[in-house]
Each structure stands twice: as C-alpha cells, then as structure tokens.
Structure 1
C-alpha cells in the first residue's frame, strides 16, 4: 500500500524541480559559464585540467561535467539545464529521506520540506550553471553526510563511517566550501544527539577520526594548488553591513518566500532587494516562529536553532574573510548563492524545532498540521511563486545569449577568408576580471565554425557590442599630413618617420596603414621604439592592419624593396573599433 506522506512529498518534489526548470529555461549561460566552457573546449579530461582551479575554486567534478556537457551539446543550453534539473531532483529526494530518517513520520514533516524545496535562496543553484555545479553537489554532500552520521550514531556500524567519508569527498570534488559539511556533521551531532561537547567527542570519536583525515588530506591538496583569497575588511561598518544584509535582506526573507524584489546584476542572477517593510515582516515572522517552537518543545527547539546559528556564523565568517574588502562588498550580503548551503541547515532546524527528533518524540507533545500551519504553507508557496516569477523575469535577460546568437548568424553569412583581431567581449557578457577568458578567441573557442583571428590583415572585421560583424576601424591618433603632394609620405629606401597628432602609451595597439604601391613588396612598421613588425605590401590601393607593441608619437615605416614606390598619407594608431556608419 503506498505511503500517503511519501506520495505527497514526491508530488511536491516534482513540482519544485519542474518550476526551477521552467525558470532556468528562460535564461542561458552567463558570465563565468563562458570561461568554464572555454577551458573545457581547450582541454582533454586529464588531471592537469580537472584539478586546475577556476577563480580559486577547486572543482574537478564541475570541470568534468562541463567538459561532458560541452562535448554533448556545444553552446546549447539543454545539457547544462538537464544536469541542473537532475542535481536539483537528487538533492530534493535526499533531503526528504533525511527528514524521514531524523523526524517523526507525520504530516508536519512537510513544513521543512516545503521550505527547502521552494525557498528562493536556492534559485541561483537551480538556474545558473557556474553556481549550480558547485552548490548542488555541496548540498547533496551535506545531506548525505548528516544522514550517514545519524545512522552511525544509532547503529555504530562502520559502513556508515565509509558513507560519511565518501559523502564529504563528493562535495569536495565540486566545491572547496563543502569542507563546511564536516563542521555541520559535528554540529548536528553535538546539538541534536550529544549531551555536551566532551561527550560528543568521546562517544563518536571514529566519526571525527574519519572527518579529520579527509579534511587534512583535502586542505593539504588545496593549499598546494590555491593562492590565498583572504581579504581584509576595510572597516567594522563594512562587516556589520554585510552581516545585516545576509540576515535581513537574504536569509530571513528567503525562508518565507522572499525577497519579493530583485535588483538586476547584469547577465548573472539578480540580487535580493526586499523593501524595508518586507524585511521587518520577515524578522517578526521568524521571531514568532522561533518563540512558538521553543514554547512547545523547549530543549529540542533551542538546540535546533543553536545549530542554525552556529552554522550561519561559520558561513558568514568564511564569507567575511574572502568577500570583504572588494568592490562588491557593499552588496555581498544580498547575494543568495553565498548562503544557499544555509538553506539545508535552516530547513533541517525548522523541522527539528517543529517536529522533534524521532527518538525523543514519544516524550514530547506532538504538533499537528493545524489550520495555522496549512495557511502558513500556502502563504509560503504563493510568496515563493511570486518571487520566483520576478527572478525569472530578470534571469531571462541574457546579453551573452543575444551576443552569441547575433555573432553566429553573421558568421554563417561571411565569405571564406574573413578574419578578425582578438579583442575583449563586452563587459556585460564576460567581465575583465575573468581575463584572459574575456577575449573573443576564448569566448568563441567552442564554436565549430568560429571566427579566425590574426595579428595582421588587409580587411579586418570586428564584432560590435551586440555581436554583429562589421568592418573594423581605428580609434586613436592619426598621422600629420605628409610633405609630398599627392603622396604624403613616400616609403622607399631607409626608414620613414611619420609623426602622429598625439602620443600613445606603451602598450599593445593596432596600426592601420592605407597605402598606394606600384608593386608587391614587403615592409616593416613600428610604433616609437617598439619592435618592428613585418607585413606584405600589395600592388595598388590597399590598407593593412597590424598589431604592434610600443608607444610614442611617431610611426616608423620601412620598405623591404628599395625599388618599390609606396605612398601613404593615412596612418592611425589605437584601438580597433567598428567602422563609423556612412
């Protein structure tokens, strides 16, 4: 005979996963996704690639999944979306099983399940590949590790210690932050099952031995690979603002279906922006719920909320040490993905505080699914739906998708031999902090028929800000008029110095030289005292674009054929940009 509770939970999980899939489907790959795909395109799944850090993140499992999804579907969003949906489903089922393991099998168990399944705190993990490929495995590892520890606490079977260690390893293969799952296992044991700190350490020492071994091995490996990401906060006010935002803007509203309003963050996921009244409402509702559970089940509920407080303190401390003192500090506390893992602990704490621990429930008053709880769940679902729709509206705006679509359409119509010079993509597609993966050569690398990049060419095309292919031009100082009537500067014999209207800084530049030649020849060009670059001269009226490194207020041209007659009075140095419309 089917279990009604399990059947309802299955329907809830299916609805949650489907809703996240619909929201995710409105968007596309974004920001960090493109550098991850560029790395996957240029590498085979060797240890050198898999164990390479990305933005200081240890994610060999993420690299492998990205490599497989790229090989299977290229720039298509389908494989990535399918993996996110599968990960969401796996975490959801595992969390329900954890609730059944720890809590009494009553209808009230659906309260923490609803919170976890529908909280907007995890919207980014279910929609954005670069976030989900880290966070979803970490959440799964947290749930599996806690479940394994609870089973070991009850049975003392060594098999559960093996599962415990493997669960932690699973998370660490995708996200170094999963090391916090080790602390979570200890906190759950101490707060919910132990009788004091020393008793917890002594009674379940084999668990701590396994977790210590796994932790030390991982930290040794990560320390050898990573550079320090520790930052120093600029002030106490910065830290307090961050903590206040994380709790009042993000966590508390998120647990009751908020934040209800989002602030756009470019191509990435929007950040939480609840109005002041909504923030205070979340605080009041949370305080009332905590007080109610403590009144009904004082000891167990108090321990559950301490578990949440301790874990949240660890997360905020880690974020404070790695995210403060940067240009993003002012909004870091409003970014839900930074505390998406807290959703697991918060939902578990809500369940324990409301339902009690399975072993101790017969000694405590039962809380039934009252009309008040049903009304609260309905309000939570409606609130989460409203927030999710508004999130989806922002997630659907994807500059990277539009830029790529325009570029692919134009590339398909270009004649053979069309060439480009490598430049950064627009900052709204991949930001400069991701250099060198913000270069067009990296961005378009996964395309089977992508653009051809050169360092010199006669007819250079560029991508404009929307991704359309247009003729290239130079934005920068041009030459002063030449001394020869009808010729400008005659390039014959030795080097000819061509003064510019302004000086240029020493760096990489593009020089455009329009010339008239009476024969095919060769020539060199340099900017100031920079290294000379050779190029071919073609008979007739032509132009040549050349990438050079140098600086100064003059261009030096020299012909490789003294008999060639080469004239130019159109030289420009600077950045390659779309040609102005006629």
Structure 2
C-alpha cells in the first residue's frame, strides 16, 4: 500500500507540473501580441541603439571634400546673402544645407564636432519619422519594430550619413519622405487640414536641402493610393486625390515656385548615356549596390583616395540577395492580395534614383563604381521599408494550400530573419568605418590648423591644399585661404610676405623656396643693381614668362619703410610692403612678359633691386620651429 501511494503521489505531482507548464504557456500566449506600449518601447530602444551605433561612426569622422567647400564659402560670403544661398553647387540647389553648414562653421570653425551633431540630429529625426509612418500603416503590431530595424541599420544610408555634405542632402529628404507620407495618411483618414499645412511645410524645407525632394509629394500620393489599393478600395487613385487634395495642391504650388527658382540658379548639364553605358550603371547600382544592401550587404568596401568608398559585395552575397528578393516577390504575390502595384512602385523608385544619377553624373570621366557608392539611392531605404509595410498590410489570400507565407510570417521566423539582416548590416557598418577612416588626407586639417595657430606672425602666400584633401577641380575652393578662411587663429593670407612658408602634404608649416623658371637680371648700377626712383621703372627678367601665377623673390634695398607696386607685364599690380634697408620679399603675381614693373607708392621712397628668382613655390622639409 505504501509503495502504491508513492507511485500515485509521483504521478499526481507530474500531472500537476504538466498542468502548471500548460498554464504558463497559455498565459504567455495570452500576452502575445504585446501591448502597444511595449511595442512602442521596443521601437524606441531600436532608435536609441541606432543612434549609438551610427554616432560612433559619425563622431570618428572628418570633414571631407564638399564639406570644406561649404565651410569655405560660408566664411567668404555673408551668411544670408543670395550669392551664398542661391548657388549652383555642382548641379545641386541646396540653400538650407548651405545655411546649416554656415551656422555650424560660424559656431565651430572647421570642427567636425559641429558637423557630426547636425548629422546625428538629422538621422534621429528621420528615424522617428519612419517610426511614425510605420505605426500609421500597420498600427501597434509587433512587426513595426522589425521593419524599423531594417531601415535603421541598412547599409544603404551609411555613405550619406558619414559625409556631411551628402548627409545634409539625403537625411532631410529621408525624414520628409516618411513625414509627408504620414501626414497624407492622416489627412485622408481624418480630413484635418493641419496635416496639409505641415506636409507642405516639410516638403518646402526638404526642397531647400535637396532638389531630389521633388519626389516627396509623389511618394506620399503613392502611399495613400496603395493603401487604398491593398485595402480593396475601388478607384484608389481617384480616392487618394480627393482625400488629400489640399496637400497635393499646396505642394504643387511649392513645386512650381521652387522649379522657377531652381531653373534660374542651376545650369544643369544633363547627359543621356548610351544603352550599353546605362546597362552597366544599372548593373553596378542594382546588383552590386541596392540588392545586396537589402540583406545587410555589401560586407566589403573599396576606395581610391581621395574618392569615397564604394560597395564591393562578394558574388555569393549578390546571388543570395537576388534569390531572397525573388522569393519575397513570389511569396507576397501568391499569398497576399493586390500587391503587384506595391512591387511596381518600389522598383520604379529605385529606377528613378538610378536614372537621376545617370543623367546627372555620367560622362567620359565617370566610372561605373559611382553607382556602388550608394549615395544616390540612400533615400530608397525609406521607400522600400514603406513598400514592405504595405505588403504586410495587404490581406492574405484564402487559399489554405499556400502555407509558405504564413510560415515565414510566424514571429520566431520573422525575428530570426530580421536579426540575420541586422547582424549582416552591422558588419557592413564596421567594414565601411574602416574604409572611411583609411583616408590619407584625414589628418591634414588637424595638423594644419595646429601649425597655423602656432605661427601667426608672418603672412602666407596662398597655395592649393593637399591633393588628398581637395583636388584642383574644386578651384578656387581648394586654395588654403578658402579652406582655412573660417579660422580666426591663423596667419593672414597675402600676396606678399617677407618670409616664404608653405604647408606640406601632411599639413605642417615649413620653410619654402622659389624653384626658378626665370631670374631677375642683376642691374648695371654698381652697388645697387636696378635703381627704382619715384617715377618707377622696369626690372628685366632672363626671359619671357607664359601667363600664369608666379612667385617672385624680390631682393631690395629701400630708402624708407613704405609700399611698392609690382606687376608682370600687363597683369594686375600687387602692393608689396617694404622696410628700410636690405631685405627680401616674396610676391605672388599673375601675368606674362619679360619685365617686372616696380613703382613706389607714396613720396620719398627709392629702391635698389638685385638679382632674384621667378618661379613656383616648393615646400621644404624643415618645419617652422
């Protein structure tokens, strides 16, 4: 009896344990799906995680290429002047970007911290705007944080985030794409005119940052129409027009005013590439760019300094990414109703971005790898995530034989897929950061800024900055006087100096010499050379010079302190300060001919000019102590 009782007790305990586990599982299932508050908290945690991850990339960055042009222009012109704001920047019309860069430069001249702060703030704004529109499209569903994660960590947006000038274009547009689409949805559902007002204002602001933002209201219209389509509304296009008419009309007026201003300012040199060229651009931009990024690629990046990095996905990843996209298309088209137009819209937007890149950037000197830089398709990340949200929103078909879609849609499977893509994306972020940091010119600005601050006593002749910092195609904004113009703690840039100094390729201030092309001929007057009286005179050179900007080593003996005017041929004269006694001056002068014209400015000044050199400045190896 005792043994039987023990067996009965054990079986009863096992039964109680099984019932407890069943009850616990049932309670867990009753807690799924989680509450809207939990879903929103999860989404905000992802936004915070992205902010930390991207901030670590941004804060470790540096001013690059166009960034220096934006900063240099802001110090050379009044901040609110039309010449500063209404400027054709390589085909871009971006007054708000100029203004933002100008304010940041004024607050922290040539300091990356100010640029990084604007990028981080704009990225956060875009992330919250995408969260908002996903919430409007899908409601408080657990899939919202998953879709948000795909946008937050996609490598598509990396290159435009790390580069300040590119980020000032792309990030406001990304935020506007999501925000105006959300306003359009709210206007259609509530009829409240305030959403038409805010949507119009956001569109106008985005246009002031980037001309490609002309697509913003069209994307918003497409989102409203596609929502109506997947929801089964008859005449979705007509319904979208009617429900959002105040917004569409207001945006149309903004676009008309903007277009008139754009065509006045920008002289676009558009070029239609040949079919073979277009096919190569599409291949590089799609198969080697956008498609691998959809699964977290490219994993690897290449660059030819001083150019920016571009994606180099392995062949296996490219094939796998295309398979994933094809499977996603087949599954959604077969298992979801009315999704064909959603796919067509996503493809059309990516195609439009690539066409804009081709007609605006293609040319005989353009390499196809520019399409792999991902800068020209970064805003597609927002549109593609919205497209996936619409695919999820679409109702399932009633054919119970098609189980693939339901299997993939199970929370554990969907979470695993998203986790794999995010992990892949984070690895691409790490490899991008390595490539971005591998820039030989990255330390030039820091070294030059410190060197200039320690040697403010002698004026500097202007010179181009390092080729790894800005190439001559950026002239005149590649000149040191333009690049370092925003700094207050530096020597003056002048056309004449008593001591020849120059910045070397690393940014150090070093002593320099004039590499002779011609020589100043020693005059015939004993003990003087060539005498220059009050009326001025000519100093012969050893031969003619072609028209160019030359540097003259002028050896002189002056009767008093004063100023002389020096010109080469018919070129513009340069005022050169001179000191009483025997001294040397280095003069930067533009012109052509075989004689220098020298004329004292003011009474009581005479000079004796000795032999010297005329040529180009060559930095030495000895740093200024």
Shared fold per TM-score greater than 0.5:
yes
> What does residue 278 of structure 2 align with?
239
1:83-108 Cα shifts (integer Å, max 9, x gaps): 22222122112211211111253323
1:356 paired with 2:393, answer yes
Structure 2 equivalent of residue 498 of structure 1: 540
The 3 A distance-change label for structure 1 pair 248 and 556 is same
Q: What's 2:261 paired with?
A: 221
Do the aligned partners of 2:155 and 2:293 also contact (CA within 8 Å) in 1? yes
Q: Which residue of 2 aligns with 1:392?
A: 433
Any conservation in 2 of the 1:463–1:578 contact (CA below 8 Å)? yes
Aligned-partner Cα distance in 2 for 1:197–1:426? 57
Q: Go from structure 1 to structure 2 and tell me whether the alpha carbon gap of 1:278 and 1:40 turns closer, same or farther (over 3 Å shift).
A: same
Match of 2:295 in 1: 256
Aligned match for 1:136, one of 165, 171, 184: 171
Of 296, 300, 306, the residue aligned with 2:344 is: 306
Q: CA deviation at 1:322?
A: 1.2
Is 1:111 aligned with 2:146?
Answer: yes
Task: Select between 47-56 and 182-191 the one with higher mean Cα deviation.
Answer: 47-56
RMSD: 3.2
Q: Which of 1 and 2 has higher RCO (CA within 8 Å, sep 6+)?
A: 1
In structure 1, the residue matched to 2:376 is: 338
Kindly tell me: are residues 216 and 500 of structure 1, through their superposed partners in 2, closer, same or farther at Cα, counting changes over 3 Å? same
Q: Who is 1:36 aligned against?
A: 70
1:294 correspondence with 2:333:
yes
Structure 2: runs of 5 or more not aligned: 1-34, 400-404
TM-score (norm 2): 0.83
The offset of 1:153, in angstroms, is 2.5
2:216 corresponds to: 181
Residue of structure 1 aligned with 2:470, choices 430, 446, 455: 430
Q: Which residue of 1 is the match for residue 17 of structure 2?
A: none
1:496 CA displacement: 5.5
Which residue of structure 2 lines up, in the alignment, with residue 208 of structure 1? 248
Larger Rg: 2
Q: Do structure 1's residue 284 and structure 2's residue 284 form an aligned pair?
A: no
**Other-structure match for 2:107:** 72
Pairwise CA distance, 1:185 = 1.8
* 1:197 Cα deviation from its structure 2 partner: 7.2
Determine which of 479, 483, 487 is the counterpart of 1:439. 479
Give, in whole Å, the separation in 2 of the partners of 1:228 and 1:567.
Answer: 49
Contact persistence 1:521–1:564 (CA under 8 A)? no
2:61 match: secondary structure: coil
Q: What is the CA–CA distance in structure 1 between the aligned matches of 2:575 and 2:337, rounded to whole Å?
A: 82
**Could you say what secondary structure the match of 1:507 adopts?**
strand
Query: Which residue does 1:192 correspond to in 2?
Result: 227
| Range 446-455 or range 571-580, more displaced | 571-580
The yes-or-no answer on 1:405 pairing with 2:446 is: yes
> What is the rounded CA distance, in whole Å, between the counterparts of 1:68 and 1:581 in structure 2?
37
Structure 1 stretches lacking a partner, 5+ long: none
- In the alignment, which residue of structure 2 is the partner of 1:152? 187
**Cα distance, 1:399 vs. partner?**
5.0
1:495 and 1:253 map into 2 onto residues whose CA distance is 71
8 Å CA contact 1:491, 1:557 repeated in 2: no
Structure 2 CA distance for partners of 1:568 and 1:256, relative to 1, 3 Å: same
SS in 2 for 1:241: helix
* Shift of residue 334, structure 1, vs aligned partner: 1.2
1:101 counterpart residue number: 136
Q: Normalised by the size of structure 1, how large is the TM-score? A: 0.88
Matching residue within 12, 15, 21 for 2:46 = 12
CA distance, structure 2, for counterparts of residue 478 and residue 118 of structure 1: 60
- Is the contact made by 1:108 and 1:368 (CA closer than 8 Å) also made in structure 2? no
Deviation for aligned residue 1:134: 1.8
CA distance in 2, matches of 1:504, 1:276: 56
Change (3 A) 1:529 1:141: closer
Tell me if structure 2 keeps the 8 A contact 1:510–1:575.
yes
- Partner of 1:471, secondary structure, is strand
